[in-house]
Amino acid sequence: MSKVENGDEHDNFYHCEENETKETCNKCEVAKFRYPDGTVRLRNPHIELMDQDILYHLALGSGSHDLVEMFGDVKFVCMGGTPKRMEAFAYYIMKEIGHKLPTGTTLQDISQYSYRYSMFKVGPVLSVSHGMGIPSIGILLHEIIKLMYHSKARDPIFFRIGTCGGIGLEGGTVVISDDAVDEMGNHYYQVPMLGKPVRRPAKLDKRLVRELKGLADPEDPYDTIIGTTMCANDFYEGQGRTDGAFCDYTESEKMEYLTGLQSNGVKNIEMEVIPFAALTHHAGIRAAVVCVALLDRLKGDQVCAPKEVLDEWQIRPQKLVARYIRRYLQTKGRISFDGHGSMAVKSPRRFKLVQQESETFD
């Protein structure tokens, strides 16, 4: 027997209605799964009974590190597959929010001695690599959500900044996921626990989707669209490719499968959206996935675009998320313009979030 935890009753996960706040909405997931001050509530009674919690794959621990001092000001957690992309994003966001490092210092990979994931901190932004596929991002999310809990970060927002295969989309198109399905069309993350399957609904924050879409610039020389994202367990056969080491289906069967996905509203395929949506939702954390399509799967399987083109495409989701972060910090008065279009951080070392923050820009 499997069980869907947490029901499916609230379509808009953050607030049930547009005009409701989390204080007035008694069905709101955040009201249920966060402490009133916005800090993350862990849905695991064992953790607070432990002397210390070792976040093994991050090379951090609640006994060995002052996690409140190190991460208490985190507001945004940005994730993507590769250490290089997330290091580049850390430098990019540093410029975008005008964050200054102390003279003579450079960004450090906080998790370098885990030899698993890379993590960089730039003021209120954590930039973390998650590797490829469901188990890798699943493990990371357990530890990052615990990190948010131990550090008492308030109302953190998570983003996945990734790449994907588009379905009927030109290479370079940016997709903001508003729904997640697996290869079987399920909208949940199923994990075997104690020999039994447990399902957690994979839901993304609809309001965040709208806010991100609103930040797409009509002048951008590419499209930014909203759509359903399919999460595959594999890059090759699991995504209907015919160019893996093995293949037992024909090209026309593949095309029938892909066009079937397209007619069900699937815009892109990647490999992490289901656990990302499900575990953030389960933790009451607002989250969004923004990926750039590296190819149109209706036209082929191989990623053929030249390296420089792929590198430029990969920056597109980063730009959108950076716009969101800049806009958020501007609205909250944490960064200001110097009158020449460049920004200065008001409190570069630490962004103390003293009061409960409203969730929209307006």
Ligand X SMILES: O=P(O)(O)O[C@H]1O[C@H](CO)[C@@H](O)[C@H]1O
Ligand Y SMILES: O=c1cc[nH]c(=O)[nH]1
Is 73 a residue that touches ligand X (CB under 6 A)?
Answer: no
- Residue ranges of the alpha helices (H) in the chain? 29-33, 67-71, 83-96, 134-151, 206-214, 251-263, 273-282, 307-331
Whichever of 153 and 169 has its CB closer to ligand Y, that residue is: 169
Do 175 and 227 touch, CB atoms closer than 8 A? Answer: yes
Query: Quick one: CA torsion of 273, 279, 282, 288, rounded to 10 degrees?
Result: -40
305 near ligand X (CB under 6 A): no
Dihedral in degrees, nearest 10, Cα atoms 238, 244, 246, 252: 70
For ligand X, the binding residue among 38, 80, 83, 201 (CB under 6 A) is 80
Nearest to ligand Y of 25, 290 (CB atom)? 290
Contact (CB, 8 A) for 199 and 2: yes
Q: Which among 282, 189, 171 is positioned nearest to 231, based on CA atoms? A: 189
Convert 169-190 to b/e letters by CB count within 10 Å (16 or more is b): bebbbbbbbbbbbbbeeebbbb
Q: How far is the CB of 135 from ligand X (least distance, A)?
A: 11
Residue 79 or residue 353: which is nearer to ligand X going by CB?
79
Does 41 show up as a binding residue in the annotation?
no
CB nearer ligand Y, residue 226 or residue 298:
298
Residue ranges in 317-356 that form contacts with ligand Y under rule CB under 6 A = none
Q: Quick one: CA dihedral 316, 317, 320, 323, positive or negative?
A: negative
Give the nearer residue to ligand X in terms of CB position, either 133 or 275: 133
Task: State yes or no: residue 270 binds ligand Y (CB under 6 A).
Answer: yes
| Number of CB atoms found within 10 A of residue 61's CB | 14
Query: Which of ligand X, ligand Y, none sits in contact with 181, Cβ below 5 to 8 A by type?
Result: none
Binding of ligand Y by 164 (CB under 6 A): yes
Region binding ligand X by CB under 6 A among candidate stretches 10-18, 29-37, 103-111, 270-278: 270-278
Our finding on whether 301 is near ligand X (CB under 6 A) is no
Which residues sit at the interface with ligand Y, rule CB under 6 A? 163-165, 235, 239, 269-271, 294
Which residues sit at the interface with ligand X, rule CB under 6 A? 80-82, 132-133, 162-163, 235, 270-272
